[in-house]
Structure 1
Amino acid sequence: MRATLRWAHSDLRTHRGEALFLVLATVGIVTSLLLAAALFGYATNPWQRVFTQSRGAHVWIHTEPSAKVSDLARLDGVEAVAGPYPTASATVTSRGSRASVELRGTTEQPAIGRPLLTSGRWLDPATPDGVVLEKSLARALLAEPGDALTLSGGAGPLTVLGIADSAEPQYRRGERSGVVWALPSAVPHAGSEGQVIGLRLTDPEDTDYAVQRAVTVLGAGAVGEVSTWRQAQSEAQGDDRLLGQILGLFGLGALVAAGLAVHGAIGTRIRGHLRDISVLKAIGFTPGQVVRVFLLQHLAYALLGAVAAATLTQALGSRMPGRLGDAVAMWQGLPGHAVTLVAVPVGVVLFIAATTGLAAWRAGRVPPVPVPRTAAPAAGRLSGPARRALGLRLPPALVLGWHKAFTRRARSLATIARLALPLLLIVVAMSAWTTIDRFHSRPEQMGLAAALTVRADDALSDPATRTLLARSPEVAAVYPGVEVAALVPGQTATIALRGLGTREDPYPYTLAEGRLAHGFDEAVAGQGLLDLLDVRVGDWVRMTVSGRPQILHIVGRSIEPENAGRVISTSLDTLQENDPTLRPMLYQIRLRAGAEPHQVATDLAASAGRGQLDVHVVANPADGLPPLRAVVVGLLGVLALIGLVDLLTAIGGSVREGERDLLALKAIGLSPRQITAITVTATGCTALAAVVVATAVGLPLAHWLIDAQGRSSGIGAGIAHGPSLIMLSAFGAAAVLGALALAVLPAARASRRRFADTLSGVA
């Protein structure tokens, strides 16, 4: 045992840099996987915690005031009901921010779907104008307990008494109204009236059937909107789920790359230490002991890195800025946190141990007596192309370097594959970065042709509103439209039916499949709607809008970032043919190039005066992904570190294998500089081949992964964009030039070795 430890200590002193790289690579891999686990937990458990503590309703149904919702409590499978509560639509203003809200009348905190107060207090009859805001709405309005809200229609101000968490779908500007709990006396004074009831089911898996039964009992014409717990959970996961998936994917990819890097490092070290291994066996080491020396040595590196990563994540993870810190802090309080904190590092260590076992087993097969080295050149005979290249008087160093890089096919392909894997993942990360940037730089190509959404006061007519909007020099086009909730076939869920633009001035949808809608009954749909209804482009769909049937022919698939892609869009003319009383309720504004949306929104709201226009910037899906940039940068660092380990291993192996040819090269008249150029050229050719393979495989893989994520989120395939040619060229040049620079120093040292040293190395 003492001899084993002394040899391991000597080897560590000789290869300190390589050992450090292996430890740091393991730290990066384990940290990525632990952060992925934290983000997955953060994506699902906060909503689940709120839903469980509040005894949330599995279904919320908005109906007309006259609907007999009390009959729903007697349906099979309904455990309890929340409400019914009277509701009214309104617009509130706080600190210059406006939001559409649903005033919900109640006095006591309900037993089902109970709001969980996070600050302030509940409604009090002594404060008749007091309200409680849902948390996401309060965040959008920058409101706190004690603030005053201005209610549309000239009604008196409302006082914020408290802020509460809710398991219902959260407020989204321009898409979904926020919930405001108020005393029933305050509700009838604000806008259109209705009622809402929540159903808590005995079996959550029967949600679709329960919704269908409820709509049948009430009548389709009485139901305005239906939301389910699945929809709320999916929206609560949102961007955190995407971050967790990306971290998990790259963490696993980095784990495989690190395992291969360790395997290659051990294999190269064994080939370079055959004489040392023979000496170990000659002094009494058994094959099993030799295997354990190499295996335990690299297992110790992996264990050290895994323990360091787990310790750093546990101690400092909650202090990370932004969402990652919040995710780790919440994850540390979950019951399964300790198991994950141990299982992930142990899994990584075992995986690395498995990948190093084969290379260590090869060390045990080395004979105790060194086998005389063959007199043939290490790279074998010159190939036909190499001889022809020398005949063309190309520099011998370049020809011999190229020949050295690709002659040993099995070993060369293995080295290229190890180098290509981290480079491939870097190409995928660059593609993800480019796609996110495209949402900001080219929003019209990502389904965001309009920059602003405007809702006008009822006192403004349609022509007056258009004239007011077109007056701004920054406005390029105005598209009137409506958006209503529609019941899908089977009446199990609601979707967004949108009518934008006219046939003379159609809305510029971004199509990924099919064509634009031109006919009277034609429409385009998002991926989420196609998946929900199990239809495709070319099919006809029937839906119910306020009791009226609407049949549309889907002629194209549009990229839809809103409402999880559950949107079907046609022209305003088509909807007005089915309902002549329909009038524009919103306007989508396309701005001129270079216009600042927030500034234009402020100018339009100020020019209208007296709150006649509610103007807000269209939400961009990429706005919720700022942490992804930091994640991508960290992943690039980890992958670059793994690639560096692979590259140093390849350079070390190339230098060691070139020692046997050193005398022959000097004998034929090559100078030390030319001999150095051979090794540098071989390294550069290997790196160039790895870059080509990584780019050729990485770009299609990145497109497939990004489009698959877009499809699963409802936005739809067709959003993926690869890096520009300039960026790819810079990436390839940096990789090749970096490999050349790293190879210069060890190759130069080897080429200047003395003849006596060289003879001892080949003896």
Structure 2
Amino acid sequence: MRATLRWAQADFRAHRGEALFVVLASAGVIASLLLAGALFGYAANPWQRVFNQSQGAHIWLHTRAGAATDADALAAVDGVAALSGPYRTAATTIESRGARAGVTLRAADVEPPQTGRPLVAAGSWLARPDAADTGTGSATGSVVLETSVARALWAEPGDTLRVTGPDGAPHLLRVSGTADAAEPRYRPGGAAGIGWVLPATLDGIARTDTGQSVGLRLEDPDDTDFIVQRAVTVLGADRVAEVTKWQQARSEAGGDDRLLGTVFAVFGLGALLAAALAASGAVGARVRGQLRDIAVLKAIGFTPGQVTRGFLVQHLAFALLGVALGTTAIALLGARIPGRIGEAAAVWQDLPGHTALMIGIPGGAVLLIAASTGLSAWRAGRVPPVPVARAALPSAAPMTALGKRALGMRVPPALVLGWRAAFPRRGRTLVPVARLALPLVLITVALVAWSTLDQFRSRPAQVGLAAALTVRSEQPAGPSDAELEETLATVPDIAAVHPGAEMAALVPGQTGTITLRGLGTARQPYPSAVVEGRAVDGPDEAVAGQGLLDLLGVRVGDWVRMTVGGRPQILHLVGRTIEPESGGRVITTTLDALRERDPQLRPAFHALELREGADPRAVSGALATAAGATLEIRETPNPADRLEPARGVIGALIAVLALIGLIELLTLIGTGVRDRGRDLLALKAIGLTPRQIGAMIVTAAGLTALVAALVGTTVGVLSGSWLVDTQGASSGIGAGIVQLPPLPVLLTVIVGAVLGAVAAAALPATRTARRRLADSLSETL
């Protein structure tokens, strides 16, 4: 053991550069993976991130109008760590560009609270009141809207909103900003949104008819139910109107977490595998580069077991050192990186799963590197101690007839010899191409996911979102159907109007409910995104989402019987559509088909198709002007809104994978130059110039990268399409939503890989071409 350690120490002194490269490669890969993990947690768990950053309250108690809140008594409850509020509140209705939403205004100070602090996402927080900030008459106060209600109202900082208070009087408020809060989101027809105003502004809107809200941050979140009982007892059950708990808010955001988590888990595991292969490849290359030293060790009496243990211990120490450096650097300095990456690293420390990833990612990488190192060390133990035995082996494939013919036709020798060096034998060709292709596969999969997200924005009709707006008439004060259609016809940017109605229907056996939708007419059917079968083109025909097909166990071509309002409805499924709403458990037919069962059925809403390039906000404003306050206008929800954080993470993932690919390239280039030492000696002996030798090395690297890029992008496109379609089918939306990256983007990946390989090979090629090769033992082993 002493001799093994002394040899390991001497080997480290003799090959410090190679050892440093292995350590830095391991550290860089682990640091990149940990940063990617931080970004994953930052984007895939938005509610938890907001809760931690805002010091969110675990419990929100909302009292009735006129009921006071005893803050001191609540603060004295055992288990309550801090209070947010109490804040005076008033229930209002806010209108903007024809959209209408119920909003609970909450009186707040000019300084946001420390507990339950809203995180300003756009604009600014409330400013100090001035003479005009009275909130009465035509004067304009300021309001900060929670992000989800601001999106529903199409409200942005600087917009002016119309607010109807409890007494029915109108008021005007200017949006000073939007903010995120770790509370239940706004849902049309469900939970009200949240807006923060100054106390003077709230006094002008509702002087007397106000309630109160108070948030409780707990020492132990598991005590939520018990603390709720204690708090309600302290305030009085007759005074408490509503209680919301942190589990409720988190569960409402859970669908986004699961979807993003699934996608990022696939990418993360693939990146970890690629990183471990790159680091282990660097270790294996170093072992192969020391075959001469191994032969000498065996010649002086080292056993195969001693050689194996020496390499295994030495390279495991390098891997552990690199992993420790990378992990420590991210733990100590990650939060200081400027931009979103630093913010993600700072927030990540308080997110669930942080400790597991900080241990799991480095631990998994070390295990994979150890497995590869053990294999390389075992091969080192089997190296023959006689140098001639290895010198007699050919280092490259013999020149083929095609290569000889190409040289005879005056094809540049660098190109011919570079091809021969890049693809010497089948086994030796497949391994480096496969290792380099893996990061490119994952990069292409990430680009497929990016393109699919872009499709929801740029071509919504192809993913089941043909109607950009939905208009509902307020009954009985609203206009009749004929009057509404005349009003809609006056707006020039509306391309088509589709009357519709939705209702809950019982499935066969009455064990569950689905959504039955009548949309469009037989003369002008709604343009559903049909990906299997055909569109509705006759009586009693319908199309359905993947979620409904899975729920009922039916397929296209079957007849489905359901119960609506106690009466049966039988429809023939002629197609499967992409259905983003209600988990795909929607069956869509024409309004005429529903009127056969109920002749008195009136449209409950109208879906509006807009002309290409029309702005939904401008159309909504024009409709509100044309129809007054008699219409409720809503934008069609887009799943891309929930997946918007994925863009930054996908971009970071591509950068991480590019770094892994660069490390793999450097390893392959260094190994290739070393393994072809005798070939370079022979080529220089027969008259090749240093420039031709350098060009041959660069050409070999470029050709290897080209083949790996072609294979990687092809496999990545196929794998990405399968992954996106599988995720769409499992979520109920349905397969068929995948959008492949444009051809120029894929070509850019291929060209970038080749140029990166050429740039990485330039320096080793120059040094090798200028080095004087000698026919010595170091060049023949």
- Bin the TM-score by the shorter chain: 0.7 to 0.9
How many Å apart are 1:477 and its aligned residue?
1.1
Report what 1:692 is aligned to. Answer: 710
Q: Alignment partner for residue 600 of structure 1, among 613, 619, 629?
A: 619
Distance 1:101 1:343 in 2: 45
Q: Work out whether residues 526 and 568 of structure 1, in 8 Å CA contact, stay in contact via their aligned partners in 2.
A: yes
Q: Work out whether residues 31 and 326 of structure 2, in 8 Å CA contact, stay in contact via their aligned partners in 1.
A: yes
Distance 2:572 2:671 in 1: 64
After superposition, give the CA deviation of every residue in 1:612-658 in whole Å (9 maximum; x if it has no partner). 12112212111222221111111111111111111111111111122
Q: Work out whether residues 398 and 681 of structure 1, in 8 Å CA contact, stay in contact via their aligned partners in 2.
A: yes
What amino acid sits opposite 1:669 in the alignment? G
Mark the CA change 1:324 to 1:453 in structure 2 (over 3 Å): closer, same or farther: farther
Report what 1:123 is aligned to. Answer: none
After superposition, give the CA deviation of every residue in 1:649-692 in whole Å (9 maximum; x if it has no partner). 11111111222022321232222222222222221221111112
Mark the CA change 1:738 to 1:344 in structure 2 (over 3 Å): closer, same or farther: closer
Report what 1:250 is aligned to. Answer: 267
How many Å apart are 1:374 and its aligned residue?
3.4
- TM-score normalised by length of structure 2: 0.73
Name the stretch that deviates more: 724-733 or 675-684: 675-684
Q: Alignment partner for residue 723 of structure 1, among 724, 731, 741?
A: 741
How many Å apart are 1:420 and its aligned residue?
0.6
| Pairing 1:176-215 to 2, within 5 Å after superposition | 177-178=190-191
Report what 2:531 is aligned to. Answer: 512
Q: Is residue 7 from structure 1 mapped to residue 15 from structure 2 by the alignment? A: no
**Partner SS state of residue 658, structure 2:** helix
**Partner SS state of residue 602, structure 1:** helix
After superposition, give the CA deviation of every residue in 1:518-558 in whole Å (9 maximum; x if it has no partner). 22111111111111222111112222222222211111111
Q: Alignment partner for residue 150 of structure 1, among 143, 155, 164?
A: 164
Report what 2:74 is aligned to. Answer: none
Distance 1:647 1:287 in 2: 31
Q: Work out whether residues 523 and 555 of structure 1, in 8 Å CA contact, stay in contact via their aligned partners in 2.
A: yes
Distance 2:193 2:449 in 1: 38
Distance 2:731 2:510 in 1: 22
Distance 1:316 1:16 in 2: 21
After superposition, give the CA deviation of every residue in 1:718-756 in whole Å (9 maximum; x if it has no partner). 011111111111211111122122212212221222244
What amino acid sits opposite 1:416 in the alignment? V
**Partner SS state of residue 607, structure 2:** strand
How many Å apart are 1:140 and its aligned residue?
5.3
Mark the CA change 1:136 to 1:492 in structure 2 (over 3 Å): closer, same or farther: farther
Report what 2:576 is aligned to. Answer: 557
Report what 2:373 is aligned to. Answer: 356
Distance 1:327 1:620 in 2: 29
Report what 1:278 is aligned to. Answer: 295
Identical-pair percentage: 53
Q: Work out whether residues 149 and 186 of structure 2, in 8 Å CA contact, stay in contact via their aligned partners in 1.
A: yes
Q: Work out whether residues 31 and 310 of structure 1, in 8 Å CA contact, stay in contact via their aligned partners in 2.
A: no
How many Å apart are 1:575 and its aligned residue?
1.0
| Pairing 1:743-762 to 2, within 5 Å after superposition | 743-756=761-774, 761-762=779-780
| Pairing 1:330-409 to 2, within 5 Å after superposition | 332=350, 338-339=355-356, 341-371=358-388, 373-374=390-391, 378-409=395-426
After superposition, give the CA deviation of every residue in 1:683-703 in whole Å (9 maximum; x if it has no partner). 122111111211221111110
Mark the CA change 1:23 to 1:317 in structure 2 (over 3 Å): closer, same or farther: closer
| Pairing 1:165-314 to 2, within 5 Å after superposition | 171-173=186-188, 177-178=190-191, 236-281=253-298, 286-304=303-321, 306-307=323-324
After superposition, give the CA deviation of every residue in 1:205-256 in whole Å (9 maximum; x if it has no partner). xxxxxxxxxxxxxxxxxxxxxxxxx999875322222222222211111121
Name the stretch that deviates more: 324-333 or 231-240: 324-333
Q: Is residue 673 from structure 1 mapped to residue 691 from structure 2 by the alignment? A: yes
Report what 1:93 is aligned to. Answer: 94
After superposition, give the CA deviation of every residue in 1:69-100 in whole Å (9 maximum; x if it has no partner). xxxxxxxxxxxxxxxxxxxxx99326778446
Mark the CA change 1:598 to 1:316 in structure 2 (over 3 Å): closer, same or farther: farther
What amino acid sits opposite 1:629 in the alignment? R
Q: Alignment partner for residue 740 of structure 1, among 758, 764, 779?
A: 758
Q: Is residue 649 from structure 1 mapped to residue 667 from structure 2 by the alignment? A: yes
Report what 2:564 is aligned to. Answer: 545
Report what 1:682 is aligned to. Answer: 700
Mark the CA change 1:375 to 1:407 in structure 2 (over 3 Å): closer, same or farther: same
What amino acid sits opposite 1:531 in the alignment? D
Report what 2:460 is aligned to. Answer: 443
Q: Is residue 23 from structure 1 mapped to residue 27 from structure 2 by the alignment? A: yes
Mark the CA change 1:18 to 1:509 in structure 2 (over 3 Å): closer, same or farther: same
Q: Work out whether residues 33 and 252 of structure 1, in 8 Å CA contact, stay in contact via their aligned partners in 2.
A: no
Mark the CA change 1:34 to 1:633 in structure 2 (over 3 Å): closer, same or farther: closer
Q: Alignment partner for residue 447 of structure 2, among 424, 430, 433?
A: 430
Name the stretch that deviates more: 320-329 or 426-435: 320-329
Q: Alignment partner for residue 621 of structure 1, among 639, 648, 658?
A: 639
Distance 1:232 1:99 in 2: 23
**Partner SS state of residue 573, structure 2:** strand
Distance 1:91 1:529 in 2: 37
Paired residue total: 644
Q: Work out whether residues 417 and 690 of structure 1, in 8 Å CA contact, stay in contact via their aligned partners in 2.
A: yes
Mark the CA change 1:326 to 1:530 in structure 2 (over 3 Å): closer, same or farther: farther
- RMSD (Å), alpha carbons: 4.0
Distance 1:488 1:44 in 2: 36
How many Å apart are 1:757 and its aligned residue?
7.4
Q: Work out whether residues 35 and 244 of structure 1, in 8 Å CA contact, stay in contact via their aligned partners in 2.
A: no
Q: Work out whether residues 97 and 617 of structure 2, in 8 Å CA contact, stay in contact via their aligned partners in 1.
A: no
Mark the CA change 1:447 to 1:312 in structure 2 (over 3 Å): closer, same or farther: farther
Mark the CA change 1:138 to 1:620 in structure 2 (over 3 Å): closer, same or farther: closer
Q: Is residue 709 from structure 1 mapped to residue 732 from structure 2 by the alignment? A: no
- What 5-or-longer segments of structure 1 have no aligned partner? 55-89, 104-116, 121-132, 182-229
Mark the CA change 1:469 to 1:514 in structure 2 (over 3 Å): closer, same or farther: same
Distance 2:309 2:348 in 1: 41
Mark the CA change 1:318 to 1:398 in structure 2 (over 3 Å): closer, same or farther: closer
**Partner SS state of residue 626, structure 1:** coil
What amino acid sits opposite 1:574 in the alignment? A
Q: Work out whether residues 514 and 556 of structure 1, in 8 Å CA contact, stay in contact via their aligned partners in 2.
A: yes
- What 5-or-longer segments of structure 2 have no aligned partner? 61-90, 105-114, 119-144, 172-179, 195-246
**Partner SS state of residue 15, structure 2:** helix
What amino acid sits opposite 1:11 in the alignment? H
How many Å apart are 1:148 and its aligned residue?
10
Name the stretch that deviates more: 437-446 or 348-357: 348-357
Distance 2:509 2:334 in 1: 47
Mark the CA change 1:603 to 1:314 in structure 2 (over 3 Å): closer, same or farther: farther
What amino acid sits opposite 2:164 in the alignment? T
Q: Work out whether residues 31 and 330 of structure 2, in 8 Å CA contact, stay in contact via their aligned partners in 1.
A: no
Name the stretch that deviates more: 33-42 or 528-537: 33-42
Distance 2:752 2:451 in 1: 19
Q: Alignment partner for residue 653 of structure 2, among 616, 635, 643?
A: 635
Distance 1:540 1:455 in 2: 31
Distance 1:673 1:166 in 2: 67
- TM-score normalised by length of structure 1: 0.75
Distance 2:450 2:269 in 1: 19
